[in-house]
A and B are shown apart, each in its own frame.
Chain A
Amino acid sequence: MAEHKTPHINPIPPQARAFQGLRAGVVTRTIAGAIDYSVIVGLTFGSYATVAIFKFLLDPRDYQLPQWRFVVFLILGFSYFLVYLTVAFATSGRTFGARLLGLRIVGRKGSKLAWGTALLRAAFCVAVPVGLFWCAVSRENRSVQDLVLRTSVIHDWPVHQAPVSISDAESRSEL
């Protein structure tokens, strides 16, 4: 007698299934990193704009744009970046750029990073961003951060919803 199971529709396109779970290369990771940098830059200038608006609301008559030194932008940006990366690594394993590019950061055994490891990796990424490019040379597609902390960045296209089963589709069509 044939074994019965309900078929599911895999939401990942067939041409992308082969490399799901494998370590990503330098191009994908650089694009993801660039998107994250853009987010942080936007956040930093957004903070500046917010402060400027509040200042205008408080004293519109003698209003002057806030005069921030470049190092303030740097410190604010790096702080945002550190928090952003730590939270992303320790929760979903995906930054915004990683989500867009279908990447996920995993630990030594393929699990999510612990908060400590996430903080260390985030600090490493902020301090030595150029370490990312080692993954082009590494035979295992690992960046310097990955080598030191034994982490991996894998292709794992996000699944927004549970795989649709045929029986689910049938029950919905009856409604």
Chain B
Amino acid sequence: MTEERAADPPPAAEVRDIVPVVHRSGPRLPAAVEGPLDVALGAAVTLARPVVAVTAVVGRSLEPWARVGWELVARPPLVPAAWTPAAVGARLADTGRQVRFAAREDATVASNAALDVVVPSLLDPLLDRVDLTGLVLARVDLERLVGAVLDTMDLTGVVLDRVDLKRIVETAIESIDITEIVRTQVDIASLAEEVIEEVNLPEIIRESSTGVAAEVVDTGRLSAVAGDELVNRWIDRILQRRQSRRTDAPGRAQSEDAMDAADAALRDSEAGHRG
């Protein structure tokens, strides 16, 4: 089954049907508010653009002065290096970083503990309110999912490992009538005839009932027939015949009629028993 799926993926149209396209749309403001708001926004942007441009020019021209001023503040001259605002700030930053890392681990532990408590208590009522089965059926391509799962697992191995096959077979055999099934579904007569032909039962019966004399007669007849064929071949060769002889005769052999009559008699007797 999984091989079939792998060889025959679902067509593109089917995939589009299964995976719906979600169109997102934000909330809309009332029309009475949208108009003035747009006007106000346009005015603000129009005024802000020159202000931002002027500010940027001023900022770029003042940047070298600001950098020198910051250097003077951070590392003032005549102050020991360890006591400059920059050094003090660096030490404070180290301390803060250590605190932050320690707090992160504590926060992780605390948040996990909180989730252990909160999630189960939230999830149960949440799931009670959601038709999860319906959701999965509507949203999940189950065929693809099952196919992927079956592709990855050895189903035969799982059945052999997990299933008590002996018990299943025994239960099945107990519950069905095999004899009746064979009697109704199998052509026993044809089977028996094949077996009889295979073991040459007529020969065995003849040998046991009529003995050597019948065998001698059969052998003599077959030899005579072989002689017929030999003579026919010679004569046909002398006469330069290319076609074989037409030895079909009207009517049938009595042995064939006897077989048919026996069949008919048995059919009649079986019909009589049923009637």
Q: Are A1 and B185 in contact (CB under 8 A)?
A: yes
Q: Kindly identify which residue among A6, A12, A137, A139 contacts B189, using a CB–CB cutoff of 8 Å.
A: A6
Closest to B245 in A: A139
Q: Are B262 and A101 in contact (CB under 8 A)?
A: no
CA–CA, A136 and B157, complex, Å: 73
Q: Are A27 and B254 in contact (CB under 8 A)?
A: no
CA–CA, A69 and B232, complex, Å: 41
Q: Are B255 and A25 in contact (CB under 8 A)?
A: no
Q: A5-B267, A6-B266, A163-B262 are in contact. Are A152 and B235 (CB under 8 A)?
A: no
CA–CA, A172 and B235, complex, Å: 51
CA–CA, A100 and B216, complex, Å: 11
Q: A11-B206, A136-B231, A139-B245 are in contact. Are A110 and B252 (CB under 8 A)?
A: yes
Which secondary structure dominates chain A's binding surface? loop
Is B135's beta carbon under 8 Å from chain A? no
Is B227's beta carbon under 8 Å from chain A? yes
Q: Kindly identify which residue among B196, B205, B255 contacts A7, using a CB–CB cutoff of 8 Å.
A: B196
What is B's interface to A at a CB cutoff of 8 Å? 184-190, 192-193, 196-197, 200-203, 205-206, 217-218, 220-222, 224-225, 227-232, 235, 239, 241, 243, 245-256, 258-259, 261-263, 266-267, 270
6 further A-B pairs in the complex, CB-CB below 8 A; given A108-B250, A139-B241:
A1-B184, A6-B270, A9-B202, A28-B228, A31-B224, A162-B258
What is A's interface to B at a CB cutoff of 8 Å? 1-16, 19-28, 31, 100-102, 104, 106, 108-111, 136-137, 139-141, 152, 154-159, 162-167
